[in-house]
Structure 1
């Protein structure tokens, strides 16, 4: 059973999420002390595009082991694309690019085609074995981005982003038993490993941090920390009714906090500013609690 981690003065996350029209789960921890706060932190949940972070870690570990060269170049023909609005997925011509730059597109722009090409190189088994090695046994990658989109088209008969309430129960992409999955605690732990140089070699972890810091989406986790001297790095995920983001918030005094927030909205509408913003608000409340 997933329960809240509470303490004296812990935030009322339940009321916060409900007011935004969502059900929410979250976990935050001080990367250096281990102090934590959470709300349903061990709930198995679909990760949507956040599966790209375990893939990034496994990619770097294979590069560290000499199993692949991140500077090696690959050509993606124009006719070979996973559906998506950004990166190579949105391009019309053949693209020749290094594996390292594909990883940047996968994280910073959430490019689905880059993710699927890299996943083919790394392999599902390697990604999941990497998570097992870290004790993140609730984190699994079983689908590529293209497979996720194809499953939604198959399950609804018309695909997304436009879905009806009746479609939601049919979406296997929202079922953690069948989809890519993790928990708020495990996603935050994975980010903690990257920030402590434990996920891969020190140079690889430094590079992963730099890529995660370049994510272009400011409307979720980063919206809770609108300050020039606070750095927010992370990776979002979105499929119908599911909005999530995991990342790290760094303060100028050296405080570092791994945060993961998942939400499921009551509405199937594509644009829901409150549902996006509550991710940043919940993260800010959690970090403020930890800093006190």
Structure 2
């Protein structure tokens, strides 16, 4: 059974997985826990980008408006503006670019605050994403992790971890998966099925204005991360995707795989592991699981 093979792929990598893969242009699907609530992490940025681009296309927000991102009030993250030491000024549309290509957190939070969490949830409901809920911006989510672990917030947790003993760090790591932000269904949440639905709507210009959908597709195709779904495919296969990860527990990716014969597949893969799991192994498992699901669907049609 292919589902047993896919479970084994995740198990060998030291994680559990939930996924859904559907052809874009015909019926059928391969799913594993496809309706299970999951923590989206940065995968939710696809929804933020779509709403922002919809506002641009409809004239509700000027994409060229310059916006100051203060160094003193900056969302933490491993890349992009999070690493800047000075204030930065960017346009809204350039923030969307940074958000989808390198997963920039300060850009995401600036956009989320401008659009509003309520608008994101209204968009999710309009698109039929009944199990997708955005609870807060990323900074508040990170702070909630620190608070759940007995600290004033994320910055306080990071400062403590720099001086903590190995034993103290291990005890904190053991508690991480149970924090609200990392508990499926408790914080910001989605399902593999909702994310595949979103991808299908974006790729068929049904998620919003065609110009908005086209820009989301184009930026996802330029995502810098290529070691998850894309790792299992070689040119001329093309992959447009958005990855997400959170504190070594959650590693995800959603995207569309386009084959040279015209077949296209929307995929959403979500994994969980204990802190300290082999990052490279889990990333590769996301690609392998997607490829096996696509191969299974292709065999069904031949």
TM-score by length of 1: 0.91
Report the Cα offset of residue 104 of structure 1.
0.8
Task: For residue 26 of structure 2, give the secondary structure of its aligned residue in structure 1.
Answer: coil
Report the Cα offset of residue 177 of structure 1.
3.0
> Structure 1 CA distance, aligned partners of 2:2 and 2:176?
36
Q: Which residue of 2 aligns with 1:27?
A: 20
Task: For residue 45 of structure 1, give the secondary structure of its aligned residue in structure 2.
Answer: coil
Task: For residue 242 of structure 2, give the secondary structure of its aligned residue in structure 1.
Answer: strand
Uncovered stretches (5+) of structure 2, i.e. residues with no partner: 152-156, 163-168
> Structure 2 CA distance, aligned partners of 1:23 and 1:274?
12
Q: Which residue of 1 aligns with 2:104?
A: 111
Contact 2:250–2:270 at 8 Å: present in 1 too?
yes
Matches within 5 A, 1:228-243: 228-240=235-247, 241-243=249-251
Report the Cα offset of residue 118 of structure 1.
0.2
Contact 2:34–2:191 at 8 Å: present in 1 too?
yes
How many equivalent pairs are there? 283
Matches within 5 A, 1:4-15: 12-15=5-8
- Kindly indicate whether residue 251 of structure 2 is the aligned counterpart of residue 250 of structure 1: no
Larger Rg: 2
Contact 1:233–1:249 at 8 Å: present in 2 too?
yes
**Alignment CA distance shift 1:98-1:34 (3 Å):** farther
Uncovered stretches (5+) of structure 1, i.e. residues with no partner: 1-7
Matches within 5 A, 1:170-249: 170-225=178-233, 227-240=234-247, 241-249=249-257
> Structure 2 CA distance, aligned partners of 1:9 and 1:136?
27
Q: Which residue of 1 aligns with 2:174?
A: 166
> Structure 1 CA distance, aligned partners of 2:82 and 2:2?
46
> Structure 1 CA distance, aligned partners of 2:235 and 2:174?
43
Residue among 69, 72, 87 paired with 2:62:
69
TM-score by length of 2: 0.88
Contact 2:14–2:277 at 8 Å: present in 1 too?
no
Contact 2:3–2:32 at 8 Å: present in 1 too?
no
Q: Which residue of 1 aligns with 2:276?
A: 269
